[in-house]
Amino acid sequence: MSHILIVEDDATLGRGLVLALSDGAHTCTLAKNCAQARQALQETPFSLALFDVNLPDGSGLALLEETRAAGGPPVILLTANDLETDIVTGLTLGADDYITKPFSLAVLRARVEAALRRTAPVKAPAVFRQDGFVFDFDALSFSADGRAVQLSQTEQRLLRLLTENRGHTVPRDTLIDRIWTDGAAYVDENALSVTVGRLRRKLGADAPIQTVYGVGYGWAVHP
């Protein structure tokens, strides 16, 4: 299930976008301005976001820049501006697509599906191999350069999340929610840092676990 954030101040258009994109595969959250969008992005991990460029309390371009800096979801810009400079600015700031108004809802749906396909995390196979690392998540067998590695359940969950989302930064909040699934009401954020540190030590110095300070962690891949 994909969760899409729609940031649009035109109430009628916003409701239309929600109706057009909400189906069995997608759910939508509608924000009417930058402030509501920022709050939604802090509270929910979205699969994709649609930002109107002209918003009552700021610019969708500035919101895009903030979202990219925070490792947020891919973004499609919606705007009435069709100047080449506006398009170039949006794409330069990291937009995944750019659609000018008025637009066909059928075309919008197609562009949304294309963006979701491009940015969907690649699922790790039962056996993951990369640069001397071999992780068999079904047999619970893990090795680094031929050396067997014993991992706790928490470390296994962390490793699987990182490899499933290889090439992407996984936010700290998402990792905490997905790793500690025992119903604990509160998990100290330091627990994640400690778990990452243990996993790095066990896998060795060559483990491509990257830290994006203030955002989260990722498993690097070679181009």
DSSP H or E run through 159: helix 153-164
Residue 51 is predicted with a pLDDT of 96
Which of the 8 DSSP states describes residue 103? -
pLDDT digits (tens, 9 = 90+) for 172-193: 888 888 888 654 445 677 889 9
56 Cβ contact list (under 8 Å, min separation 6): 9, 32, 33
List the domains of the chain with CATH numbers: 2-119 (3.40.50.2300), 127-219 (1.10.10.10)
Residue 122 is predicted with a pLDDT of 59
How far apart (Å, rounded) are the C-alpha atoms in residues 219 and 209?
5
Low-confidence ranges of the chain (pLDDT < 70): 81-83, 121-125, 181-187, 223
23 Cβ contact list (under 8 Å, min separation 6): none
Residue 143 is predicted with a pLDDT of 96
pLDDT digits (tens, 9 = 90+) for 22-42: 887 889 999 999 999 999 998
